[in-house]
Structure 1
């Protein structure tokens, strides 16, 4: 496209083009190398969600505790 044609496009036309680009990019999802994973994926049950949340929370607390211990040791040594 030359400059004059591009200047004459309305905002709506440019947005439609962007939308079409995005849609083309995502059409292949489920057909490529990730299709098996997407087909096997399911929504977790309440029990699974609770366990995952608990494990993630314990991990965050553990990492924070380790960081605090390192910080405390550095304050004492230096």
Structure 2
């Protein structure tokens, strides 16, 4: 069981030595090669085993922390 002093990287080390690719899409989501484990600011953890995960950067997503393309809608 991990202690509170451990970082997320220490809790779940990668099985291979390849770096994880992260792509920031201007005006859109942050794309992360999966699988991923996201540690949210409220202390909860969300896991996705998809090969690529779109993480919301605008907080408009109904499925936050995952992107649902809400950033595409125009603001009035």
TM over 0.5: no
Q: With structure 1 as the length reference, what TM-score do the two structures score? A: 0.18
User: Which has the greater radius of gyration?
Assistant: 1
Counting helix residues as a fraction of each chain, which structure ranks higher?
Answer: 1
Q: Which has the higher contact order (CA 8 A, sep 6+)?
A: 2
Counting strand residues as a fraction of each chain, which structure ranks higher?
Answer: 2
